[in-house]
Structure 1
């Protein structure tokens, strides 16, 4: 979700609230990055030529791992939310 945080800096430089949540729900891991908008005409990061694959690339990575990624506007801001299958818990090597 580094891409989502980078996008906040790039596209919503005036955002006052950015929340990252990670939770395990049964066999799923849910990660969410939400900002309150605060779009600015002057991004904190300079524009660049070429570079990353953005949210499209992030969505492809999630899909390749059996997950789902959704992004879009929400309540005055922007949301990126992903769900992945969680790894099964492993027994501690020290327990018997």
Structure 2
């Protein structure tokens, strides 16, 4: 369902809220180590993690089970750990 303006709407809402926008695209082959490392890197690079709004842009996924595991933990517990890399997202 590309081209419907979903990403533009999300970006506008984040801008209106005054939060820092982070687009996090996920597509293709999911490697949890790489995915965790990318999100860890992006959240560490942000000015303030508590002022960060993450837009998870999901494309075509080859291994949906790993995406389910990642999203379940991030959305429900606001954290994810793979190997030695742990991500903890603030509630706000």
Which of the five TM-score ranges fits, normalised by the shorter chain? under 0.3
Give me the TM-score of the superposition, normalised by structure 1.
0.24
Larger radius of gyration: 1
Give me the TM-score of the superposition, normalised by structure 2.
0.25
Structure holding more helix per residue: 2
